[in-house]
A and B are shown apart, each in its own frame.
Chain A
Amino acid sequence: NAGVTQTPKFRVLKTGQSMTLLCAQDMNHEYMYWYRQDPGMGLRLIHYSVGEGTTAKGEVPDGYNVSRLKKQNFLLGLESAAPSQTSVYFCASSALRTGIYGYTFGSGTRLTVV
């Protein structure tokens, strides 16, 4: 079982470039999430989706956009990358909105903006 797959695993961008991070899950989960992880900051929620065609802002949404055109995919876009967006990005999914059984995470995308 693949679970949650993130692509790419690594990327280096120049300031001002754009890119899209792809998250795909094969568990038929309704709910998907994008987090960023920075040293000492834990996991901070960027955006999330409660179903196909829906998106909502998390704690740190500025500079990012998302789309959920298909239930299994959740895309995170950076329109004009900034060095402050250097981070490790994690996608997660869950079967229940409450999350009481936890989230399944991907293995992350390490993004460096120079």
Chain B
Amino acid sequence: GQQLNQSPQSMFIQEGEDVSMNCTSSSIFNTWLWYKQEPGEGPVLLIALYKAGELTSNGRLTAQFGITRKDSFLNISASIPSDVGIYFCAAPRPGNTPLVFGKGTRLSVIA
């Protein structure tokens, strides 16, 4: 249904490497949101996407709204230790119901 599937579930990368993660669904969405949760904190909104095909950057982070409207992608370039955390995708469901969240991708950066 309107579940969001994130992959990978976790990843360990070397500092300086680029990172790619994605969020997919069998449903169409009109908005995609990406959050980062640092250890011991609540999720913080990184990027919001509102149009199919849209590419939006926030520093070293770039997110894309898939053209099918069923997926979204987040890339991090030249990772650094402070990129560590859990990255969540989220999307609003029809009918004014609360956001649906993916289960997150846990990123670990090895210095």
Tell me which of B36-44, B53-61, B74-82 binds A.
B36-44
What is the distance, in angstroms, from B76's C-beta to the closest C-beta of chain A? 19
Q: Are A105 and B103 in contact (CB under 8 A)?
A: no
- Interface size class for chain A? 20 to 34
Interface residues of B in 68-111 (CB under 8 A from A): 88, 90, 92, 96, 98-99, 101-104
How far in angstroms is the closest Cβ of chain A from B30? 8
Comparing A13-21, A63-71, A73-81, A95-103, the segment that makes contact with chain B is A95-103
| Chain A residues packing against B (C-beta within 8 Å) | 4, 33, 40-43, 45, 48, 58, 90, 92, 97-108
29 residue pairs A–B, Cβ–Cβ below 8 Å: A4-B42, A40-B103, A41-B103, A42-B101, A42-B102, A42-B103, A42-B104, A43-B43, A43-B88, A43-B101, A98-B92, A99-B33, A99-B90, A99-B92, A99-B98, A100-B48, A100-B92, A101-B48, A102-B33, A102-B48, A102-B90, A103-B99, A104-B45, A105-B44, A106-B42, A107-B40, A107-B41, A108-B40, A108-B42
